Chains A and B, each alone.
Chain A
Amino acid sequence: MDDLYRELIIDRYKNPQFRGELEPADISYHDDNPLCGDKIRIDLRVDENDIVTEAVFSGHGCSISLASADLVVESILGKTLDEVKEMDKEMVLELLGIELGPVRLKCALLSLKVLKAGVYGLGEGESSDDLVA
């Protein structure tokens, strides 16, 4: 259980490296987790080859959801959108380096959900649960 509060998570929660908003952005998407009120927005810029050149997140939430957003956003810099589409749950858990119960798993995966919904071009409120299955 102490694992949950690895230094990395607390550190990224308190001192996020990729917090911000891009105006304009090539891709911008936001979503929330109504169960706990966590809300995350992710903005991306891509070059002509669909490679992510800039990525930031904003919003509010618990340490797990915000640290995971910071790490996820960092991990996609230099990736192509097709590579981003391939990202899954395991990759996020690897970034966080912890095991999570079902409730906190939802916190951890919110940023990936937002990211993939944005990259796939989903409309607002469209169900994106399948994207992180």
Chain B
Amino acid sequence: MKAVTTHSNVLDPEKIRKDFPIFSKEIHPGVPLIYLDSAATSQKPLAVIEAMDAYYRHSNANIHRGIHALAEESTANYEASRQRIADFIGAAKSHEIIFTRNTTESINLVAHSWGRANLKSGDLIILTEMEHHSNLVPWQILTSEIDLRLEFIPVNAEGLLDLDEYKKLLTQNPRLVSFTFMSNVVGTINPAKEIIHLAHEAGALTLVDAAQAVPHFAVNVVDLDADFFAFSSHKMCGPTGLGVLFGKEALLDAMPPFLGGGDMIKRVKLRSFTTNDLPYKFEAGTPAIAEVIGLGAAVEYLDDIGMDTIAAHTKELTAYALERLEEVPGVWLFGPSIEHKAGVAAFTFEGVHPHDVSQILDRDGLAVRAGHHCAMPLHEKFDLPATTRASFYLYNEKQDVDRLIEGLYKVKEIFG
């Protein structure tokens, strides 16, 4: 496990930005891009783009299927990436890493495979009120088939989970607790280790939606004792089209396959098949080979800089953003104070709809997100039709925040 150091190296965003080709682009003539939407998807460093380019130029072949040299090279690269990704999240065994399309598919895999095999009518699943739709809808779909009970850990006015209510729910014999490690709307970092520990004491398994967590700080699935752990490549400097599901070996071993087809079998007869070993059992068909290699390069890139360094940088930047946003009359910040969060500042602006905020900011090259950020229930709970969200990552700097604040004053001028 990586030690969390308080004296992390300081990151130079100016230098980092040079690693990302997109920042040489003018978003409108003469207007550079100020990208504050990394919670939706991160930008990609050259190292990742080049790794994928090199794969297609020099080692493209299907994996696990050829005896020829190229297929062997491709398979070796693919599996080396899997190992690198396993190491990155502290998984003990690389075959506990299953490649999917995204976080959403990882969660659906657990719902379909583990859920169908293990849950019965009346079983309780605990979720939270701050979930992304991808950790709500799969369970709602399953509920329409199995008639499960879904209960939700409430979010309090500060944007934190109410753990007392959680403990009450735990007395009702839950089977699974599925929750987000870090909220994509309010940025709250939930006490995952404690939530998991309490769930295990109550006899439940856990699924961690780590889509926002893995890009932002060092994680260790063994230390957390997570049973399932899902995240997306595209939010952590990697390519789109690739997600990861970590699962404990014993659980994955006992689960029925999700999709059927090539690669996930050992042997097929006309009317039957035997499943392959992990991880291939859950990777039916030709996978996203170039993307897996791209994510391997992304993980190497992040590791070289250091996740603690990145975490410290985004935290400092977010703290600065919250401070500056608070100065702007009419801005109301949604979510907890900086101690409980990272990377995200969501807000409303009195009298101005987030669409209008976002559109006016766009004129200055500022890319922010406006809407419900795939968390409609959380917005409904706080009676907010929509919010504006600025999110920060390793390539952002204080000037980006300053430009955001200047932009908001322009919004005020137009709508004030």
Partner of A36, one of B352, B363, B371, B415: B371
Q: A104 an interface residue at 8 Å Cβ cutoff?
A: yes
In angstroms, how far is the closest chain A Cβ from the Cβ of B273?
42
Count of chain B residues with Cβ under 8 Å from any Cβ of A? 20
B356 touching A1, Cβ below 8 Å: no
Q: A37-B372, A37-B379 are in contact. Are A62 and B355 (CB under 8 A)?
A: yes
A63 touching B379, Cβ below 8 Å: no
Q: A35 an interface residue at 8 Å Cβ cutoff?
A: yes
Count of chain A residues with Cβ under 8 Å from any Cβ of B? 21
Q: Which residues of B contact A64 (CB under 8 A)?
A: 355-356
A25 CA to B385 CA, complexed, in Å: 27
Nearest neighbor of A39 in chain B, beta-carbon distance: B385
Q: A38 an interface residue at 8 Å Cβ cutoff?
A: yes
Quick one: which of A76-133 are within 8 Å of B by CB?
A: 103-104, 107
Q: A4 an interface residue at 8 Å Cβ cutoff?
A: yes
Q: A61 an interface residue at 8 Å Cβ cutoff?
A: yes
Nearest neighbor of A66 in chain B, beta-carbon distance: B353
Q: B254 an interface residue at 8 Å Cβ cutoff?
A: no
6 closest A-B pairs (Cβ-Cβ)? Answer: A37-B385, A62-B353, A62-B355, A37-B386, A63-B356, A62-B356
Q: A34 an interface residue at 8 Å Cβ cutoff?
A: yes
Quick one: which of A23-81 are within 8 Å of B by CB?
A: 34-39, 60-64
Quick one: which of B389-416 are within 8 Å of A by CB?
A: 414-415
Q: B370 an interface residue at 8 Å Cβ cutoff?
A: yes
Q: B376 an interface residue at 8 Å Cβ cutoff?
A: yes
A5 CA to B370 CA, complexed, in Å: 17
Taking beta carbons and an 8 Å cutoff, which residues of B are in contact with A?
28, 352-356, 359-360, 362-363, 370-372, 376, 379, 384-386, 414-415
A107 CA to B385 CA, complexed, in Å: 14
Nearest neighbor of B376 in chain A, beta-carbon distance: A34
A35 CA to B370 CA, complexed, in Å: 10
B386 touching A36, Cβ below 8 Å: yes
Given pairs A37-B384, A61-B353, A63-B355, 20 additional interface contacts (CB within 8 A): A1-B28, A2-B363, A4-B359, A5-B360, A10-B414, A10-B415, A34-B376, A35-B371, A36-B353, A36-B354, A36-B371, A36-B385, A37-B372, A37-B386, A38-B385, A39-B385, A60-B385, A63-B352, A63-B356, A64-B356
Q: Which residues of A contact B376 (CB under 8 A)?
A: 34
In angstroms, how far is the closest chain A Cβ from the Cβ of B297?
33
Q: Which residues of A contact B371 (CB under 8 A)?
A: 35-37
Question: Can you list 11 A-B pairs with a CB-CB distance of less than 8 A?
Answer: A1-B28, A1-B359, A2-B363, A34-B376, A36-B355, A36-B370, A36-B385, A37-B371, A38-B353, A63-B352, A104-B359
Mark each residue of chain A from 4 to 29: 1 if its CB lies under 8 Å from any CB of chain B, else 0: 11000010011000000000000000
Q: A1-B363, A34-B376, A63-B415 are in contact. Are A104 and B385 (CB under 8 A)?
A: no
A34 CA to B379 CA, complexed, in Å: 12
In angstroms, how far is the closest chain A Cβ from the Cβ of B269?
47
In angstroms, how far is the closest chain B Cβ from the Cβ of A34?
7
Nearest neighbor of B415 in chain A, beta-carbon distance: A10
Nearest neighbor of A32 in chain B, beta-carbon distance: B385
